[in-house]
Amino acid sequence: MHVCRFSALRATRWAAVVLAVLAMVAAAAPARAAGDEDTKGWFLGLDLALTQPNGLDQHYANHIEWPGGVVFDQAERLVLDNDADLTGTLKFGYGFGNGNGTLQVSYWGFDNEDTIEDSLPGGLYPSLFGYGYYGGIYLYNSAGVDFRAKAKTKASTFDVDYLRSYAVGKKTTVTWLAGLRSATFEQIQDFTGTDDGGYYIYTQHKNFKSTALGLRLGAAVNFGFTEHFSLAGSTAFSFLQADTEGDSNQYLPYYDAYEINHGEDDNVRGEIRDYDLKAVWTYGHLDYFVGYSMSNWDGMVVDPVPANEGGYYAQGSMASRSRNSIAFNSLHAGVTFKFGGGK
């Protein structure tokens, strides 16, 4: 089996340059107490993460091995393995000081593609489209069916938030958050297979995109342990109204025909739940941090054009998991630079 991976080397180099510039700018800055959230002035933050998508369930085909005759020996549901990829969050904002809170805008993006090339003996039934007017795509070769499947997944959020912080102890600060979130989720899948020694080439394709807008509410707690070290935990909930639209198609060589399905919905429920725990080191105008975060996406990730059922039982979803929710789990690290203003 040959699996193709996509490198994040360019993004890593770019991020290293930005971090180095921020460090040089703030090298001579005076010390600031950990957990001090009432600073007046501008701030800029860069957060890099190794993000693992979970629950995408990118089912691309069903595989059946036939020992002979019409007896089914084994049925297998084939799903792409989704790799972790480098993601980034950029934050920019202004603290008003004197207990008046902070205004912040932030952007997060995920963009990853997974590909598999393989050959399997027996019958192979692509599952992106399913069964249509002309039937369904069915490939068989006792020596092995050659195929290629890939999926591209993109997700992003853009937030505008207002934050207010309150000291609830000598070293503990609670911050409340309220704002607006815009979110997008997009998935593109392709399957290409050959049968009869490469005489026929079969293809299926699916793509859909959801866009959402809604309110965002959250809270964070900062526990200061020393002048320079603290632990921070946060949670935020986004309640979204989403639109979704998608298409799927297949090409049948025998009929020289394309079949197309379309689906859309302008009233989709969307919900995103964000959790984060990180360690923070504060030196001068710089906050360095490292932590673990989870982002759970519900509703807006549902496929609006699921595979058609019918024909052979393998031409369709074959016990589809009916995905309603996915998650992005991240190991992340970054820096926040505060400049201008004062207490």
| Polymer length in residues for the chain | 343
Residue 48 has pLDDT above 80, yes or no: yes
d(CA 330, CA 140): 41
Tell me the pTM: 0.84
**pLDDT, tens digit, for every residue of 242-266?**
999 999 999 988 888 889 999 999 9
The pLDDT assigned to 274 comes to 98
Position 9 pLDDT exceeds 70 = no
Rg (CA), the chain: 25
The per-residue pLDDT for 130 is: 83
Decide if pLDDT at 122 tops 60.
yes
The pLDDT value given to residue 70:
53
Distance CA 180, CA 240 (A): 9
The string of pLDDT tens digits covering residues 166-194 is: 998 888 999 999 999 999 999 999 999 98
In which band, very low, low, confident or very high, does the pLDDT at 334 lie, cut at 50, 70 and 90?
Answer: very high
Q: Does 36 or 286 have the greater pLDDT score?
A: 286
72 has a pLDDT exceeding 70 = no
Which residues fall within 8 angstroms of residue 273, CB to CB, at 6 or more apart?
235, 236, 237, 238, 295, 296, 298
Report the DSSP pairing between strands 229-252 and 200-224. antiparallel
Q: What is the mean pLDDT of residues 262-274?
A: 95
Residue partners of 320: CB distance under 8 A and separation at least 6: 59, 306, 307
Domains of the chain, residue spans: 2-339
pLDDT score recorded for residue 64: 84
Share the mean pLDDT of the chain: 84
The answer to whether 128 and 191 have CB atoms below 8 angstroms apart is yes
Comparing 5-19, 44-58, 237-251, the range with the smallest average pLDDT is 5-19
Mean pLDDT, range 64-84, rounded to an integer: 75
The per-residue pLDDT for 201 is 87
Name the more confident of 342 and 298.
Answer: 298
* CATH domain 2-339 topology: Lipocalin (2.40.128)
3-state secondary structure at position 19: helix
- Rounded to whole angstroms, the Cα distance separating 78 from 56 reads 13
| pLDDT recorded at residue 244 | 97
Q: Is 82 helix (H, G, I), strand (E, B) or coil?
A: coil
Residue 132: per-residue pLDDT: 84
* Helix ranges, the chain (H): 9-25
**Average pLDDT rounded to a whole number, residues 120-133:** 87
